[in-house]
Structure 1
Amino acid sequence: MPWKAALLGIAVPGLGQLYSGLPLRAVGLHTLLLAVNVLCLAGLFLPVKPWNIAAPLACLLVTWALILLDSVRCAKHAPAGYRLKAYNRSYVYILLILLTWPEGNGIKHFMVTRLAEAFKITNSSMAPTVISGDRLIVNRRAYVERSPRRGDLVTFRLPGDQSELFLKRIIAVGGQVVRIDQKKVYVNGVPLVESYAQYGDSASVALRDDFPPSPGILNNLPPGIDETWARQMPGFIQSDGLHVPPENYFVLGDNRDYSWDSRYWGFVPESDILGKARVIYFSWDSQARHIRWDRVGEILQ
């Protein structure tokens, strides 16, 4: 019955073909869909909006639909008098459906640890580049053959709390000297041109707007600063600014006046960096309750 083949194909692509007595076709098409999943993930890194989202999604949906239609066609064109095989039993289908769950989880684990990972933004510390409600794709292979560079948007584990994942922009790398003078950032004495930075508070606040702070300010523990970092920071301060040690990074949020970053808790070791934020694949405005279509597919710089 074609409708049974369709239902099985919806449950697990390829099962509809198995129902029609075509096990090799079922395995081949199921494998094809898995391969298309991986290729579509790679398509998310296309440098053209909105094709970086639309093209992979369309490819995946078309492949899935064609496999489903093929299962119906195979059932309709089954030979006259066709009798179900020994493996066409409900318990066999249930077993195969259960077996595909670990398969899906295994592929997801491989993608997350080796290729790419989804990341949800829940605050405004990186506005206007990314805002609350944005969902990003992070390239986990970005730093396989090279080290992170200044300006990269990176996800990392928070030093001191490995359970916390953060997204910030690299401002200075190991061996460079960073200082902030009245909100202006200098690296190796050269002022940075930061079109991505946003400031929302006209007041001048020590540590936040003038960095590194004087020893007196550190001794009084400014609000928000990590105590361990307050004790360690003087060891990296010289007359020209804060010296970033090798294989470490100084990171800031683009929304400078409202970001908890390296100013408050210190350097990010290279070993804690997980990947480079690449593209916004979805964005939801929780207040207006609608999708921000203009942000979908945005390439992050």
Structure 2
Amino acid sequence: MSQLQHPSSPSSGKEPWLAANLSLFFPGIGQLYTGKMIRGYSLIITQVGLYALSGWLILSQIGNIFIGEILLLATFALSIWGIFDAYDCAKKANPLSFEKLRTSRKDPWLAVFLSRLVPGVGHLYINRLWLSVLFFTFFVTSLLVQLVPILLKSLVFYHVYIASTVRRERNQMPILCMAIVSILFSIIISMQMLFITTHIADSHVITTNEMNPTLHSGDRVIVDKQTYHFRSPQRQDVVLFLPPEALQDNHFRDAFVQRIIGLPGERVEMQKGIVYINSQPLEENYRQGGSQDAFTPITVPANSYFVLGDNRNHSYDSEDWGFLPRQNILGKVTKRFFPPQRMGIVD
């Protein structure tokens, strides 16, 4: 493989597609590479601020999820603009002679950029058809295995660079560093996402109509997993929980979403569909269905809760299988983010 050289042209310059590749890691880095320091740092700070604000609006119980999602879309749009802007900044920094040199043959950094988007496309760009098909097939079949797509992408875009017949760099250090950083960056992001979904917040899809009219089958909700680290579950909280032992014995494995009605130590009873807590009727303006169910007073054990679905005529809940242990509660359902017309706080 040969390096592109010309006796009357400079052999180095700012690579526009390298700047675009750097901006794929995080907006602003490509601008820093081109020497636009104020522009780069401003973009980085803006992106971090927008991500933090939109995340708070979406995940917090008091934030407006609609505004948060609009900001998240704006942040994504800014990221896309940052890639094109980094390319443009690098292109404008180059003398005309280098731009003529760069555009005279297929650009290896463009091949890298395409491979980072979809493995195999970069090899197609440099006319390596069979390698393109091979890498694309490997990528598609590896999507089910965690971290393998990340490693494969890094291998593919490293290979497409060294396989290019034209390279302006005299060594492979830039592309090697990019491959290593890509792996480390992706692993860090994956670990952060795992931490967030395990300890802070996660999403859940409602699959039944037990919580009508509050939640419908097909609704996507956000589950706050940190609230109950600081306080105990409260009456009328809508919670996501793992099936207790009685349900697991009947082969239930998927998580349930229901509403807390009775707290530890309280006496719960039902008469003609009306719930009584310590002999006092419970006001339930969220309930659906004219249930006439009744059961005699029962006392909720320590570290346990009595839960019911809002759709009382079609709910499989504590009235059927008993009390919910505290350790089975995964978090509080706080917001609905899909469908758009039902977006908002879960009362």
TM-score, with normalisation over the residues of structure 2?
Answer: 0.63
**CA distance in 1: counterparts of 2:195 and 2:43, whole angstroms:** 21
Contact 2:28/2:44 (CA < 8 Å) preserved in 1? Answer: yes
CA distance in 2, matches of 1:12, 1:93: 13
Read off the aligned partner of 2:224 and give its amino acid letter: N
Higher helix share: 2
1:51–1:21 CA distance, 2 compared to 1 (3 A): closer
1:1-301 map, 5 Å = 1-3=15-17, 5-6=19-20, 9-10=23-24, 13=27, 16-17=30-31, 20=34, 33=47, 36-44=50-58, 45=60, 46-48=62-64, 50-54=66-70, 56-65=71-80, 67-78=82-93, 80=95, 89-160=174-245, 161=248, 163-199=253-289, 209-212=293-296, 241-283=297-339, 293-296=340-343, 298-301=344-347
Quick one: distance in 1 between partners of 2:215 and 2:25? 36
Distance (Å, rounded) in 2 between the aligned partners of 1:140 and 1:85 = 51
Higher relative contact order (CA 8 A, sep 6+): 1
Q: CA shift at 1:277, angstroms?
A: 0.8
Q: Residue type of the partner of 1:50? A: F
Which deviates further from its counterpart, 35-44 or 106-115?
Answer: 35-44
CA change 1:146–1:87 in 2 (3 A) is: farther
Cα deviation, residue 3, structure 1: 4.5
| Distance change in 2, residues 1:183/1:138 (3 Å) | same
Equivalents in 2 of 1:99, 1:248: separation in Å? Answer: 43
- Relative to structure 1, the CA distance from residue 110 to residue 182 in structure 2 (aligned partners, 3 Å threshold; closer, same or farther) is same
Residue aligning to 1:221: none
5+ long unaligned stretches in structure 1:
213-240, 284-292
Q: Are 1:250 and 1:266, in contact at CA under 8 Å, matched by a contact in 2?
A: yes
Task: Give the CA deviation at 1:263.
Answer: 1.5
C-alpha separation in 1, matches of 2:170 and 2:48: 26
Q: Which amino acid aligns with 1:40?
A: S
Q: Which moved more, 1:153-162 or 1:64-73?
A: 64-73
CA RMSD of aligned residues (A): 3.4
Q: Structure 1: how far apart are the matches of 2:207 and 2:239? A: 16
Equivalent pairs, count? 256
**How many angstroms apart in 2 are the aligned matches of 1:32 and 1:100?**
20
1:66 and 1:17, CA in 2 relative to 1: closer, same or farther beyond 3 A? same
Structure 2 unaligned spans of 5+: 1-14, 100-167
Residue in structure 1 matched with residue 115 of structure 2 by the alignment: none
CA distance in 2, matches of 1:190, 1:85: 82
